[in-house]
Amino acid sequence: MRPLIVFLACCLAAVSAAARNTTGRSFSSEFFFGAATASYQIEGAWDVDGKGWSIWDYLARTDPDHVADSSNGDIAANSYYMYRRDIEMLKELGVTHYRFSISWPRILPYGRANYVNQRGVNHYNEFIDELIANGITPFATMYHWDLPQNLQELGGWLNEEIVDWFGDYARILYQNFGDRVKHWLTINEPYVHCNLAYGYSMHAPRIHSPGIGYYECGRHILLANARAYHIYDNEFRSVQGGKLGIVISSEYVFPASDSEEDIEATRDYFEFHLGQYMNPIFSETGNYPQVMIDRVAAASLSQGYNSSRLRGFSEEQIEYIKGTADFLGLNHYSTRIIYRNSSVIGMFEIPSHEDDTYAASFQNEFWPASQAPWIREYGPGLYHLLVHIKDTYNNPLVYITENGVSTTAGLNDYNRVSYYRSYLNAVLDAIAEGCDVQGYFAWSLMDNFEWALGYTQRFGLYEVDFGDPERTRTPRKSALVYKEIVRSRTIDYDYDPDPYASNAYASSAWLLSIVFAIVNVLIQL
């Protein structure tokens, strides 16, 4: 019965999505397009110019086989040295905004603010200046998972002192770059970071504690984000006049059937994922969703703990965290279908965030698959998620800070083309519905180090040749399609550029320019 219901639901959604066709609709001139990356995933130069070790540098040296292809980010796409080419790519795409991240251990090699690495500061100064000189607006992420190893040795995100450490780091960023960076993203994807790094031991620092460490990490991230926000408010905002947001990831979820249980499980799933981070910051009451507070407290007591594994916030902390984002940075990739029945009992490790949520999920196998086992294309999910955010959190200003899909290597990435069209169509739908979405960053500008999956996943609009010491970047079909969407501000489903032809043209244009230069020199002789 369930597969049938899901299949029918998807057909209906597909029909309604088709009905919400983009013909004649366009993105307004205020809406901006950009592309996104993160420091450890692209920079390389892991030990140059005074940079300290991050938790990923440590993992690469102590546990290299944990990564799928035993690779690491030592060189990655070499963007530390090739950032001028990256900026050229942004210009080729015609986008006006770039989301990148600053490596904490490049600025503070030992994590703490007592020693600032001036060469790291110089690097980002040059980079930011170059962006601005090329008309690209910087959106800078302060923390995209590359924690200084020294801080991890003191517990990392499990130690509440990180709230001070992060605040001090943020202040140094505002002091050095805040005259030019007017959009700050504090911390990337608390749910994914805490779940994979401090819950299931899949990412550095590989801590296994899905029912305790996971919650502690999330709690400290909320407090650290608030600290960075208040520092900006009290010391910098009046002079620098920028905006700060946090980057929260969320799938869209819907119930597998119209049973009371599945509907309730879906509500809970939202609260235990999106709500865990949205409610404290974006709701009027603040604090964690009540269902989380109650459920984890009851489960903890029944499991023999003498207090809730979800450590609470004081009244003062609730107020301190509430409202600490000027906008939401939303990362979205896919949709899941939720159910709850007796089979869910005992399905997950005890204790764990998943067991506390008490809901299981799957994806519809009719949705186009990708290289990543967790991403299937279902564009309408983004529309529904944005409407859910609008209705639940009083229509916050949203920038989509990541959206994309992975493919295998190769320039004819039809799946990515289809994915971007479908998800951008959903953004147009959401805007038409009154959602305050003002910008969109494609993930990613180029292929990069996909954490524990190494280079086996390609997320780039530009293909990077990792076998080539030059790390040559070549635009894929999706880059050309995205460029056309950015130019025309509409989605043309018939546009089918040939990336091989356009690259052949580019190289012949390059050859021609050399011939012209030689002829020019000869003429002058």
What is the smallest separation between the CB atom of 472 and ligand NOJ, expressed in angstroms?
Answer: 21
Considering beta carbons, is residue 313 or 420 the nearer one to ligand NOJ? 420
What is the smallest separation between the CB atom of 35 and ligand NOJ, expressed in angstroms?
Answer: 13
Cα(152)–Cα(147) distance, integer angstroms: 7
216, 271, 377, 402: which is the annotated catalytic residue? 402
Q: Which amino acid is at 185?
A: L
Cα(70)–Cα(502) distance, integer angstroms: 34
Pairing of strands 335-339, 360-362: antiparallel
Helix 118-133 to helix 162-177 angle (10° resolution) is: 50
> Contact between 355 and ligand NOJ (CB under 6 A)?
no
Considering beta carbons, is residue 202 or 397 the nearer one to ligand NOJ? 202
Cα(69)–Cα(72) distance, integer angstroms: 9
> Contact between 146 and ligand NOJ (CB under 6 A)?
no
Considering beta carbons, is residue 38 or 244 the nearer one to ligand NOJ? 38
Tokens found for residue 218: 């999330």
> Contact between 377 and ligand NOJ (CB under 6 A)?
no
Considering beta carbons, is residue 443 or 455 the nearer one to ligand NOJ? 443
Mark 20-39 with x for binding to ligand NOJ (rule: CB under 6 A) and - for no binding: ------------------x-
Site for ligand NOJ in 276-295 (CB under 6 A): none
DSSP state letter for 368? P
Cα(347)–Cα(359) distance, integer angstroms: 9
> Contact between 443 and ligand NOJ (CB under 6 A)?
yes
| 470-53-161-224 Cα dihedral, nearest 10 degrees | 0
Per the annotation, the verdict on 484 as an active-site residue is no
What is the smallest separation between the CB atom of 251 and ligand NOJ, expressed in angstroms?
Answer: 12
**DSSP percent split of the chain into helix, strand, coil, nearest 5:** 50, 15, 40
CA 349 vs CA 252, 298, 304, 344: distances in Å: 24, 17, 16, 11
> Contact between 79 and ligand NOJ (CB under 6 A)?
no
Cα(37)–Cα(77) distance, integer angstroms: 11
Site for ligand NOJ in 446-505 (CB under 6 A): 450, 459
What is the smallest separation between the CB atom of 143 and ligand NOJ, expressed in angstroms?
Answer: 11
User: Applying CB under 6 A, which of residues 216, 402, 447, 463 lies at the interface with ligand NOJ?
Assistant: 402
43, 189, 251, 377: which is the annotated catalytic residue? 189
Site for ligand NOJ in 174-213 (CB under 6 A): 188-189
Considering beta carbons, is residue 192 or 231 the nearer one to ligand NOJ? 192
Classify the C-alpha dihedral 324-328-329-331 as positive or negative: positive
> Contact between 331 and ligand NOJ (CB under 6 A)?
yes
Please report the DSSP string for 428-497 in residue order: HHHHHTT--EEEEEEE-SB----GGGTTS-B--SEEE-TTSTT--EEE-HHHHHHHHHHHHSS--TT---
Per the annotation, the verdict on 189 as an active-site residue is yes
Considering beta carbons, is residue 310 or 375 the nearer one to ligand NOJ? 375
Q: Where do contacts with ligand NOJ occur on this chain (CB under 6 A)?
A: 38, 41, 188-189, 331, 402, 443, 450, 459
Active site residues: 189, 402
